[in-house]
Amino acid sequence: MSVISGSINSCGSIAYVPQVPWILSGSLRDNILLGKGFDTRRYEEVIQACTLDVDISTMIGGDMSHIGEKGLNLSGGQRARLALARALYHDSDVYLFDDILSAVDSEVASWILEKAIMGPQMKRKTQLLSTHNLQ
């Protein structure tokens, strides 16, 4: 979106979660932390809110498993949830979600809406969610 007139001022940090997420070639944990320090409590909360805990339990090496270039070892839904987890872990002030629920089934989407997008970590945060699914 371009500014036609006037200006846009932003105070604080902004997290953008695209419909097609960018995935680092590295471990699942590296992709979530993305250089930020490891906080066990916050990490576990985010993993559960994004329903990645079940996926991690089935991976050899858990969250330290190498997920491959562009996340080739992950499904589309796992990549979307990983990108969401990264954004939540970084505790931004503003969140922009671009149709992030399109890659997951309705049950997982409901969980993510309740536990992640509308969950306790998102209190006092500004959020913009675009979606094609109106259910």
Determine contact, residues 32/86, Cβ cutoff 8 Å. yes
- Which pLDDT does position 121 carry in this prediction? 87
Residue for token digits 């932390």?
33
Q: Which residue has the tokens 């996926």?
A: 55
| Contacting residues for 8 by C-beta, under 8 A, at least 6 apart | none
**What is the tens place of the pLDDT at every residue in 38-81?**
999 999 999 999 999 999 999 999 999 998 877 878 999 999 99
14-130 folds as Rossmann fold (3.40.50)
Reported as a single tens digit per residue, the pLDDT across 7-48 is 777 778 999 999 999 999 999 999 999 999 999 999 999 999
- Residue 1 reports pLDDT greater than 60: no
**Tens of pLDDT, residues 91-110:** 999 999 999 999 999 999 99
For position 40, what pLDDT does the model report? 97
Please compute Rg for the chain using Cα positions.
Answer: 15
pLDDT at 61: 93
Q: Where are the domains of the chain?
A: 14-130
